[in-house]
Chain A
Amino acid sequence: MNLKIYELAREMLVSNAFLFKIPMFILCFLFLIVAVNKNLRKFLRYLLVFSFLFLTASFIFIIRFHLIIHQVVNLDTQPIPIENIYLYVPPWIESEKLFFWLFLFFFFALLKVTNTIDENTKIGISIVSAIFSGLVAIFDPFSNPLPLLDLEIREFFRAISHFDYYQIISFKARATYLYNTPYMWIHPPMLFTSYALFLLSIPSLTMGIFSETKKMLEYESFSYQQIKAGYIFLTAGMLIGYPWAIEAWKGESWWWSPKINVSIMMWLFYSAYIHMRIYSGRKWPGRLSCVIGVVSFVALVFTYITTYLIPGVHSYG
């Protein structure tokens, strides 16, 4: 019965995924139009408001799906002598990561895009919004919701029906250390907040590289406002993950694993940017700090992709 409810909830998301995909593609197209058409650029803020509201509404459906998982994936109705299991799955894992990143990006973009902002920065933010809306439309969280957790949940229900205690207990252990841990509610949101702020900095950083000195200093200054806030969240998120890693990967070799490596690499590059930035008021150090900022963002993208690409304890690769 519980499996049926879960499958129904999942199927509802999958069959209605087009209701998310199509508007996201339209948003991608609209952001591109705003980027190229000067007369329509004044609507960027409205477009950001609409996009944020649309993602908020979609997020409610994701949260609802997670609540159903919490309600049905347990041993409540089963005559099994094992202490009960409840899943508290945070709504920013697996296929929901990119969605959550964009959601936070729209939130910060809304705060930053005002009438006083430079026209080129607006173009840059429109282009970034278009690219990410397109990406989220392609890799949306509804077409195949939580694919790995789905396999685990199906295996869990199979184990219950076959009284496979070993599988049930191992599911419980994974739930404790992977999904239910309080760290999952703090570590990823902090990192995605920093990613969103770094993403917001990238248009002005890129323009800073190619602008004349006075403009470059303005762009660099705008980027720095986002990066310094993002850097605090990045550092906090990474540090908070450390005690959890010790506990969750006890006995495993994780310190030099690829995902950990690239995350530290990204932090090191952003640290280099922050230090380079001390002399950004000068001509070439200012430009160099823009270059290091862009390199740091490339490192961020690589860090994000590594999770799916390179095998390791912190990856799906």
Chain B
Amino acid sequence: MANLKRELFEFYLVMVTVLLFSSLGIIFLVSTFYSWYMSLNYPYWTNTPVYLEYVRSLNVIAFSLTLILIITLFFCLEKRVLRIREGVLVTIFSLLSGFLFWILNGVSQAIVASMSVIFLFYLYLLIKLLVGKDIRSEKMHILEKSGSLVLHASYALIVMSVGGLNEHPLQIPFFWAGTIFCLAGKMLSFYGRSTVKCFKRFFSLSQS
């Protein structure tokens, strides 16, 4: 019964993720049509306050949905490495720190604060996974398991770099770190078994 419940929870979690990705996609589509309509009717609209308002509202909508998406992706890890209680605690801590920084220093620092909390927690999970403590599914190889962890961590890093570190000297280094994490995560998630085989072959060759 408990297994069935967990399976159902994971299924709905994936459905919510799909819905969030699609909703964000639709927002980008609608904004494109709006932008097209405006450029046809008011060719210099990007120099007007209407454009600034358009950018501001889209930033707010897109960022809110992205934040929900990142938190949802966080819980998608549940079955492998994350305990649901830990997840809830880190989410609350991330949102609270974001809120605090928003009041004190503005939106950019709020993004950096909440994404940093999530990213650091991903790092903690990754280290825990690599040193082999408290791994819940023993069937998969450690590299395969770390795939989605590294991938989801990269999203936090990229959102932090794009949304929070604008024109900061650390923006590009953080962005490249996010890109490397993202690609490594995708390779491990999609081609985990082949990667593991390559690693094993490489190590057996280097040992012999």
Contacts and interface: CB of A to CB of B under 8 A. Distances in A.
Contact of A265 (B11, B29, B51, B190): B29
Contact of A261 (B11, B32, B162): B32
Contacts, number: 91
Contact of B36 (A240, A246, A276, A310): A310
Interface in A214-262: 228-229, 231-232, 235-236, 239-240, 242-243, 246, 253, 255-258, 261-262
B55 A256 contact: yes
B162 A242 contact: yes
B137 interface: no
A181 interface: no
B51 A253 contact: yes
B116 interface: no
B58 A256 contact: yes
B205 to A, nearest CB: 26
B21 A239 contact: no
Contacts of A253: 46, 51, 55
Contacts of B199: none
Interface size class of A (residues with CB under 8 A): 35 or more
Interface string A293-305: 0000001000000
Given A257-B35, A276-B18, A232 B25 contact: no
B21 A268 contact: yes
Interface string B22-55: 1011101101100110010000001000010011
Contact of B25 (A242, A243, A299): A299
Contacts of A257: 35
B32 A271 contact: no
Nearest to A303: B32
Contact of B186 (A231, A258, A269, A309): A231
A311 B32 contact: no
Contacts of B187: 232
B158 interface: yes
B142 interface: no
A264 B28 contact: yes
Nearest to A282: B11
A158 B162 CA distance: 41
Interface string B169-180: 001100110110
A275 B18 CA distance: 6
B195 interface: no
A272 to B, nearest CB: 4
Interface residues of B, number: 34
A292 B18 contact: yes
A306 interface: yes
A239 B182 CA distance: 9
Contacts of B18: 272, 275-276, 292
Interface in B149-208: 158, 162, 171-172, 175-176, 178-179, 182-183, 186-187, 190
Given A235-B186, A256-B54, A272-B25, A265 B14 contact: no
Contacts of A272: 17-18, 21-22, 25
A262 B29 contact: yes
A235 B31 CA distance: 21
A268 B36 contact: no
B74 to A, nearest CB: 14
Contacts of A240: 179
Contacts of A231: 186, 190
Contacts of B51: 253
A239 B28 contact: no
Nearest to B187: A232
Interface of B: 11, 14, 17-18, 21-22, 24-26, 28-29, 31-32, 35-36, 39, 46, 51, 54-55, 58, 158, 162, 171-172, 175-176, 178-179, 182-183, 186-187, 190
Given A268-B25, A272-B17, 6 more contacts: A242-B162, A253-B51, A261-B32, A276-B18, A279-B14, A310-B36
